[in-house]
Amino acid sequence: MKMKVGGDSIEEDLRRIDAALSVVGFGKNLCVDANARFDLKEALAFAEAIHPYDLMWYEEPLDPDDFLSHAILAESYVSSLATGENLFSKHGLQNLLRHGGLRPDRDWIQLDPALSYGLTHYLQIIEMIESFGWSRRRLIPHGGHQLALNIAAGLQTGGSESYPGVFQPFGGFADGYEIVEGRIKPQQEPGLGIEQKGDLYRRLKEIFD
């Protein structure tokens, strides 16, 4: 599970994290996402506060283009960082990998394939990160949409964040594929997945007819 942080005091966020952990069990079942809310001082303070939890990841503590601050944070926060959803090409990611201090053994990269030139460009992103010594298993395609899920399944990235109730009609999964006990089967039909979303088809038909 993932929860938002940074909208209140550290003390309040720690209470919220404790409440979430009472449901999901332990730190590796929980990610926190600051949506680039913090400056470096705030990001370091929050990192120190959440260190004992050993969370799955600490997401977007900083602006992804602030490479120096990322490098400083990575030196002090031993658990996993995640970032990249607000980068839109392999070129931005290349600079982050060169200068942001991210660690290929524990950190996560989250470019959204729908916002970074689609599948063709995402293949180039995989090729680039592997040239930097990263595994494609450290990629988590962002977006909560079928394209990200299909990339994760087909190209064997580390996973895909999914939130099927939002970003409709683009978000969610192909018709007829349901989440059961936290899991979903990859679609069997050819295509990216949007072809199997009836609501999306109807919306596009309204626009273009």
Residue 124 in any domain: the answer is yes
Residue 95 in any domain: the answer is yes
In SS3 terms, 48-63 reads as HHHHHHCCCEEECCCC
Helix (H, G, I), strand (E, B) or coil at 180: strand
Task: Give pLDDT, residue 134.
Answer: 98
CATH of the domain at 149: 3.20.20.120
Residue 68 in any domain: the answer is yes
Residue 161 has pLDDT above 90, yes or no: no
Residue 82 in any domain: the answer is yes
Confidence of residue 185 (pLDDT cuts 50, 70, 90): confident
Residue 171 in any domain: the answer is no
Residues tagged active-site: 4, 142
Residue ranges of alpha helices (H) inside the chain are 10-24, 40-50, 67-76, 90-99, 118-131, 146-155, 198-208
pLDDT digits over 31-50, tens only?
999 999 999 999 999 999 99
Residue 202 in any domain: the answer is no
Average pLDDT, stretch 64-77?
Answer: 97
Task: Please count the structural domains in the chain.
Answer: 1
Report in angstroms the alpha-carbon separations of 188 from 84, 175, 177, 193, 195.
Answer: 29, 11, 10, 9, 12
Task: Give pLDDT, residue 197.
Answer: 86
Residue 150 domain boundaries:
2-164
Residue 199 in any domain: the answer is no
pLDDT digits over 84-143, tens only?
999 999 999 999 999 999 999 999 999 999 899 999 999 999 999 999 999 999 999 998
E strand or H helix that includes residue 83: strand 81-83
Q: How far apart are CA 117 and CA 151, in angstroms?
A: 13
Residue 111 in any domain: the answer is yes
